[in-house]
């Protein structure tokens, strides 16, 4: 048990354990290096599990520091929500997510009807990831959105944060929502995934100062993917296909109601377009140009041509980032072309 003053200071400080280097102690740093070495050589399960075990140990150890031996369940619950452990929960959730996906944020269409071998194991891993990320969300959102009210509700001493620290926490919260959305999507819960991604998008727009940023582009891309999956899933339903055909050929009422698959394809196209625009704006900023000079029309082909005319940055770091964002813009353009062709196909049937 630590002294009362020290305990109160740590309990209320979101950055305490990060700043104290808990994740990079001598023992932990070695284990982290071994874990990352394993994942870099294709041993994703072993490396991620080692990292998860270490993080679980850290969380458990730090919580026990503040708990008396005869702690009640209520005391354990309150201490599990003190701000300093939120980043650890988030890191733990990310590590579990790595185990289940192997390559985070590398998207392809999700076949939510496909039952693969070992799905229960993957489901359990994602459940662990979800629960840890949800703990991080509750704490972080409580601090940045509810502030003093959240801290008082759970008996946590208030802590003064700078504007920069509050912005950092909002960025962390956006990442948490993004990963929660990813888990929901992988599990086939597309409507909740959209809610998580929309929240992440709004937070990213706020913390990045507008639409022209890579993080905003990634949020748009994730939404575009989910809407695309939603449309594909609906079109794989015999009932939906039948209802569309009946409506088109003068069925009940002789009129077509809301065409949900088509609507979702259009939303997907909107977000692929927005993703490309965000990437292009960020590219312009890297090259010290005004985004409005590059994003002159809502056509990714024309925007890509404008980007190609920009002189690349001089520094190697900026140049690599430029090429990465340019490739991402080209990818968004290709996905948008695919969706627009799909929309044209189903509207002419």
Domain segments of the chain as ranges = 1-209, 213-349
- Residue of 40, 26, 92 lying closest to 63 (CA atoms): 92
Q: What mean pLDDT comes out for the span 235-240?
A: 60
pLDDT band at 111 (very low <50, low <70, confident <90, very high): very low
Structure tokens at 309: 């005319």
- Comparing 279 with 315, the larger pLDDT belongs to 279
Q: What mean pLDDT comes out for the span 263-275?
A: 93
176 contacts 136 by C-beta, under 8 angstroms: yes
Q: Would you give the distance in Å from CA 135 to the centre of its chain?
A: 15
Predicted confidence (pLDDT) per residue in 159-181, tens digit: 788 889 889 999 999 999 999 99
Q: Which of 163-167, 248-252, 291-295 has the lowest mean pLDDT?
A: 248-252
What three-state secondary structure class fits 69?
coil
The Cα–Cα gap between 317 and 250 comes to: 60
- Comparing 269 with 233, the larger pLDDT belongs to 269
> What interhelical angle do 260-286 and 316-348 show, nearest 10?
160
Q: Would you give the distance in Å from CA 262 to the centre of its chain?
A: 26
Predicted confidence (pLDDT) per residue in 192-234, tens digit: 999 999 999 999 999 999 999 999 999 999 999 999 988 887 7
pLDDT band at 238 (very low <50, low <70, confident <90, very high): low
184 contacts 123 by C-beta, under 8 angstroms: no
Share the mean pLDDT of the chain: 77
- Residue of 167, 280, 159 lying closest to 217 (CA atoms): 280
Going by the DSSP 8-state scheme, the letter that residue 314 receives in this structure is S
* % of residues, the chain, pLDDT over 70: 69
**Cα torsion 292, 289, 170, 316: sign:** positive
Q: Which helix (H) or strand (E) holds 249?
A: none
Going by the DSSP 8-state scheme, the letter that residue 298 receives in this structure is S
Q: What mean pLDDT comes out for the span 133-157?
A: 79
Q: For position 246, what pLDDT does the model report?
A: 44
Q: For position 25, what pLDDT does the model report?
A: 54
Q: For position 208, what pLDDT does the model report?
A: 93
User: How many CB atoms within 10 Å of residue 311?
Assistant: 8
**Cα torsion 145, 148, 151, 156: sign:** positive
Residue in this structure with the two tokens 């630590």, named with its chain if needed: 2
Q: What mean pLDDT comes out for the span 123-139?
A: 86
């Amino acid at each position: 048990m630590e002294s009362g003053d020290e305990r109160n200071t740590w309990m209320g400080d979101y950055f305490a354990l990060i700043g104290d280097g808990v994740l990079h102690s001598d023992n932990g740093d070695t284990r982290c290096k071994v874990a990352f070495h394993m994942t870099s050589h294709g041993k994703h399960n072993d490396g991620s599990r080692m990292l998860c075990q270490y993080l679980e140990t850290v969380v458990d150890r730090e919580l026990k520091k503040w708990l008396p031996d005869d702690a009640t369940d209520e005391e354990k619950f309150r201490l599990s929500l003190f701000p300093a452990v939120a980043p650890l929960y988030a890191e733990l959730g990310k590590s579990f997510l790595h185990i289940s996906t192997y390559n985070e944020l590398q998207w392809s269409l999700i076949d939510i009807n496909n039952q693969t071998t070992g799905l229960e194991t993957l489901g359990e891993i994602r459940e662990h990831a979800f629960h840890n990320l949800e703990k991080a969300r509750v704490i972080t959102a409580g601090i940045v959105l509810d502030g003093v009210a959240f801290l008082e509700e759970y008996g946590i001493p208030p802590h003064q944060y700078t504007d920069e620290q509050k912005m950092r926490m909002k960025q962390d919260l956006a990442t948490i929502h993004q990963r929660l959305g990813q888990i929901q999507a992988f599990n086939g819960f597309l409507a909740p995934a959209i809610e998580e991604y929309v929240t992440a998008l709004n937070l990213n727009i706020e913390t990045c100062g507008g639409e022209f940023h890579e993080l905003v582009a990634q949020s748009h891309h994730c939404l575009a993917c989910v809407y695309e999956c939603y449309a594909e899933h609906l079109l794989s339903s015999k009932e939906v296909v039948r209802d569309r055909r009946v409506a088109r050929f003068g069925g009940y009422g002789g009129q077509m109601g809301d065409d949900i698959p088509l609507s979702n394809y259009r939303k997907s196209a909107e977000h692929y377009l927005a993703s490309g625009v965000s990437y292009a704006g960020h590219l312009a900023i890297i090259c010290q140009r005004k985004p409005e000079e590059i994003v002159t029309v809502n056509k990714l082909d024309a925007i890509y041509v404008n980007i190609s005319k920009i002189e690349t940055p001089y520094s190697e770091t900026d140049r690599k980032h430029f090429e990465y964002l340019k490739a991402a813009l080209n990818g968004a353009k290709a996905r948008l072309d695919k969706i627009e062709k799909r929309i044209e196909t189903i509207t002419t049937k």
